[in-house]
């Protein structure tokens, strides 16, 4: 009887670990074949990969992530991004996903770089859709890796913003990120339902991640599908500077495409994705 009780307790602990060890995201799995992990950008849900999965699931097992605080996934405590990263590693190992391909857009692309730099033998390749190793360097002149605190004036302002003002802010920024007007509505919907603390503090987590030196550790192929709007030469200079420690990186530049390359140049994008997966 005692042995049965011990076994029951062990089983309950294992079940609890399974439930609570994957609180940082929700995953939907579609298709069969070699595994592909798809990470959305900041504020987006796994739905951003709908068209991509429609094609890739014909030949691959697609694991489509939505991160905590976005869509209908409950938020988690800070640190948000490092928790996601650690739980992705656990997810891959628990599910015994051998040599998975990582596909990430924006934040999801930066996360892919982080995973590939830390887990050098766990993945097969990385395909990035318009993402950088250090987002802060794009926004802060002469950025040297200074840590941005959660509790700053900009954060306080955004946390205090009413929902109408928050929606207006998102509607104003979306046209710069996506040229496809129909898809702009979808992006706004995702942003507007985001958990506000995740939106504010999670963004700071992203800004505080500087992988410009860390990417030198990456051993697997890295391919980037980069947006060129509004100016190709500026974009090329940025990518060359940020990826200088990963000389093996292969970069393709999408003409007439803003940040959501998959929406602005869908045919070009899908051809590149399928070509690299093969």
The two three-digit tokens of residue 192, written as one number: 């507007």
Return the pLDDT at 5.
Answer: 45
Return the pLDDT at 96.
Answer: 97
Q: pLDDT truncated to tens, each residue of the chain (278 aa)?
A: 444 444 443 344 343 333 334 699 999 999 999 999 999 999 999 999 999 999 999 999 999 999 999 999 999 999 999 999 999 999 999 999 999 999 999 999 999 999 999 999 999 999 999 999 999 999 888 888 889 999 999 999 999 999 999 999 999 999 999 999 999 999 999 999 999 999 999 999 999 999 999 999 999 999 999 999 999 999 999 999 999 999 999 999 999 999 999 999 999 999 999 999 98
What is the torsion angle, in degrees rounded to the nearest 10, for the CA atoms of residue 53, residue 86, residue 153 and residue 43? Answer: 10
Please name the CATH architecture into which domain 25-277 falls.
3-Layer(aba) Sandwich (3.40)
SS3 content of the chain, % helix, strand, coil (to 5): 50, 15, 35
Sign of CA dihedral 136, 157, 189, 70: positive
Q: Where are the beta strands (DSSP E) in the chain?
A: 25-30, 34-39, 60-67, 100-105, 123-129, 222-227, 250-254
Cα(176)–Cα(31) distance, integer angstroms = 33
Cα(204)–Cα(198) distance, integer angstroms = 9
Cα(65)–Cα(210) distance, integer angstroms = 23
Give the predicted TM-score (pTM) of the model.
0.92
Return the pLDDT at 6.
Answer: 44
Return the pLDDT at 22.
Answer: 63
- Residues 87, 21 contacting (CB under 8 angstroms): yes
Return the pLDDT at 12.
Answer: 40
Return the pLDDT at 192.
Answer: 97
The two three-digit tokens of residue 271, written as one number: 């051809």
The two three-digit tokens of residue 170, written as one number: 């998102």
């Amino acid at each position: 009887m005692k042995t049965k009780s011990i076994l029951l307790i062990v089983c309950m602990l294992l079940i609890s670990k399974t439930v609570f060890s994957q609180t940082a995201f929700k995953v939907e799995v579609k298709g069969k074949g070699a595994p592909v992990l798809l990470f959305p950008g900041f504020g987006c849900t796994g739905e951003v990969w709908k068209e991509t999965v429609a094609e890739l699931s014909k030949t691959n097992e697609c694991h489509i992530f939505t991160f905590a605080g976005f869509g209908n996934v409950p938020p988690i405590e800070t640190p948000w991004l490092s928790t996601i990263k650690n739980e992705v590693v656990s997810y891959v190992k628990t599910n015994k996903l051998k040599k998975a391909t990582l596909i990430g857009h924006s934040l999801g692309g930066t996360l892919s770089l982080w995973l590939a730099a830390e887990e050098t033998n766990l993945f097969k390749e990385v395909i990035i859709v318009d993402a950088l190793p250090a987002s802060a360097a794009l926004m802060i002149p002469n950025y040297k890796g200074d840590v941005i605190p959660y509790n700053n004036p900009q954060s306080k302002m955004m946390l205090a913003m009413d929902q109408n003002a928050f929606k207006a802010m998102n509607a104003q920024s979306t046209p710069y990120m996506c040229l496809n007007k129909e898809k702009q509505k979808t992006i706004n919907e995702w942003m507007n339902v985001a958990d506000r603390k995740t939106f504010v503090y999670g963004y700071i987590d992203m800004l505080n991640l500087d992988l410009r030196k860390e990417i030198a550790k990456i051993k697997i192929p890295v391919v980037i599908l980069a947006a060129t709007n509004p100016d190709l030469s500026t974009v090329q200079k940025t990518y060359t500077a940020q990826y200088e420690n990963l000389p093996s990186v292969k970069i393709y530049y999408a003409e007439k495409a803003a940040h959501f390359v998959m929406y602005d140049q869908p045919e070009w994008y899908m051809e590149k994705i399928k070509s690299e997966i093969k």
